[in-house]
Each structure stands twice: as C-alpha cells, then as structure tokens.
Structure 1
Amino acid sequence: MKINWGTGIVIAIVAFISFIMFFVITMTTSHDANHDLVTEEYYKAELGYQKEIDAERNASIAASQIDIKKSPEGLLVIFPAGYDDTNVEGIVSLYRPSNKNLDFNLPINLSNSQLLIPDNQLLDGRWDIKIFWEYAGKEYLHKESITF
C-alpha cells in the first residue's frame, strides 16, 4: 500500500499536534516547574504602586540619601543625618530572588541613625532591599540590589 501526499501531510500534522499537546499537558501538570509569582497578592500590590512611586520620589529629592554598607557584623543601613531617630518608623524588606523562603522583614529601630542587619540572617548572593520609612508624616522608599 502506497501513502500519497495528502495522507502523509495529514499524518505529519496529527503527529505534530500530538507532540505539542504532550508537552503542554506535561508542563501544566508537572509539579517540578515552579510557577510562583513574585508576590502572593500581585493585583492587590499593584493598587498601592502609586504610593510607592511617591515615596521613592520623596527619597530621591531628599537632601541626603540612605547608605548601605557591608560590615563584619552584617549589613549596615545608615540613614541620613538630621532625622530624629525616635520618630523614624518603617520596615526593611529583604527579598532573595533565588529562594522565597529566605525573604524576611525587619522593623526599623534606629540607634545613632543606623540599623544593623545581622550577618547570620544573610546568605551569600544577591538580595533586593526595600526600605520603607516614615518621618514627620512623609513617606520614603529606597530600593537597592546588593550582592552579599
């Protein structure tokens, strides 16, 4: 029995569709692939994005900026001079892109305009730091990526 061109084309198309469907089904049902979003409530976070933009603008037009330095004890966050340390409130979020289980938040408790993040909480590698603080009714935001 001979296979003509029409039958060969139909067999090739069916084989191609089967091949593609196999990979689609395999990838959607596989638990090995990690399909997590960066944030759990992505759309809720998007609604507050304008607040972040305003806070970032406030930090960028401030007279002096936050400085982040690596020290033997850990990571030192140095706030600009001129702030009354007792009136600064906020949170420092550390995000590890490679492993969400390492992410953590620290409340801002200043001593001498400095906040120390202990060395034992930071593994070597890339960290995204987001420092959100409020002083005198004004909100500020500083974002930075570092390699520790």
Structure 2
Amino acid sequence: MKINWGTGIVLAFIGFISFIMYFVINMNVNKKYDHDLVAEDYYKLELEFQNDIDKQNNAKTLEQNLSWTKTDEGILIAFPEKLEINSITGKVFLYRPSNKQLDFETPISLSEHTLLIPDKRLLDGRWNIKVDWQYKGNKYLYKKEISY
C-alpha cells in the first residue's frame, strides 16, 4: 500500500496528539507528580496580605531582625538579644511547597533568645519559613525561603 504525503501528515498529527495526550493524562493521574503549590485557604491569606506587609515593615525598623542557622540538631531561630524573652509571643510556620502533609506550625516559647526546630521534623529540600511574632503589642513578621 502506498501512502501519499497527505496521509503521512494526518498520521503524524495523530501520533503527535496521542503523544501529548499520554503525558497530560499521566501527569494528572500519577501521584508521583502531585504538587501542592497553593494553600487551601488562599483567599483568606490574600485578604491578610496588607497586614503581613505592615508586620514586615515593623520588622525592618528593629535594630536587629531575626536570623536562622542550620545546625546538626535542626534550624535555630535567633531573636534580637535586646528584647525581653518573656514578652515575645507568636508562632513559627514551616511550609513545604511540594507536599502539604509536611507543613507544620509551632508556638514560640523561649527560655533563651533562640528557638530550635528539631531536625526530625524537617526533610531535605526547600522550605518556606514564616515567623509571626509580637513583642509588647507590636507585631512583626519574618519570611524566608530556605533550603535544608
């Protein structure tokens, strides 16, 4: 059987469309490629965005902002030394863009000017850390993308 050029083009289009459809269906069905990139309460978080900007601007007015270091025990978050630790309250939220089951939140309770997030709760990879804290009525926010 002889195939002319018109039939060849149609067969090429059908082959290409089949190839693309295979990958589209495979990416939607296979759990290996499932990524949770957005929070469940996205619109609520969007409404609070201006509050976050105000808190970040407050944090910029501090003489010394929060800092973090990676240690053998985990992530060590250091609060400014000049602040009284009894007056610091808030929470630390760690968000894993690739898997929402790994996200967690921990309250801030300090006995020193540092807070340790244990290594056993953290997998290697990218994390977004968000420290929402208050000191004597002033609200502050620290956000950072870290690789652990």
Establish whether TM, by shorter chain, passes 0.5: yes
> Residue type of the partner of 1:133?
W
Runs (5+) with no aligned partner, structure 2:
1-19
CA contact (8 A) 2:37 2:98 kept: no
Residues in 1 aligned to 2:97 and 2:75: alpha-carbon distance in whole angstroms: 18
Give TM-score scaled by structure 1 length.
Answer: 0.77
Residues in 1 aligned to 2:131 and 2:61: alpha-carbon distance in whole angstroms: 16
* Identity score, percent: 49
Report how far residue 42 of structure 1 moved. Answer: 1.1
Partner of 2:82, secondary structure, is: coil
Give TM-score scaled by structure 2 length.
Answer: 0.77
Matches within 5 A, 1:49-68: 49-68=49-68
> Residue type of the partner of 2:120?
N
With over 3 angstroms needed to count, the CA separation of the structure-2 counterparts of 1:36 and 1:114, relative to structure 1, is closer
Matches within 5 A, 1:34-49: 34=34, 36=36, 38-49=38-49
With over 3 angstroms needed to count, the CA separation of the structure-2 counterparts of 1:99 and 1:83, relative to structure 1, is same
Matched, 1:146 2:139: no
Residues in 2 aligned to 1:146 and 1:75: alpha-carbon distance in whole angstroms: 10
Instruction: Quote the residue 1:122 is aligned against.
Output: 122
> Residue type of the partner of 1:51?
N
Matches within 5 A, 1:67-146: 67-146=67-146
Residues in 1 aligned to 2:125 and 2:25: alpha-carbon distance in whole angstroms: 35
> Residue type of the partner of 1:74?
G
Residues in 1 aligned to 2:69 and 2:35: alpha-carbon distance in whole angstroms: 34
Partner of 1:82, secondary structure, is: coil
Residues in 2 aligned to 1:74 and 1:35: alpha-carbon distance in whole angstroms: 25
Report how far residue 79 of structure 1 moved. Answer: 0.2
Residues in 2 aligned to 1:72 and 1:31: alpha-carbon distance in whole angstroms: 32
Residues in 2 aligned to 1:83 and 1:29: alpha-carbon distance in whole angstroms: 51
With over 3 angstroms needed to count, the CA separation of the structure-2 counterparts of 1:76 and 1:51, relative to structure 1, is same
Structure possessing the higher radius of gyration over alpha carbons: 1
> Residue type of the partner of 1:72?
D
Report how far residue 77 of structure 1 moved. Answer: 0.3
Residues in 2 aligned to 1:65 and 1:73: alpha-carbon distance in whole angstroms: 22
> Residue type of the partner of 2:105?
N
Runs (5+) with no aligned partner, structure 1:
1-19
Give the total of aligned pairs: 148
With over 3 angstroms needed to count, the CA separation of the structure-2 counterparts of 1:33 and 1:127, relative to structure 1, is closer
Partner of 1:127, secondary structure, is: strand
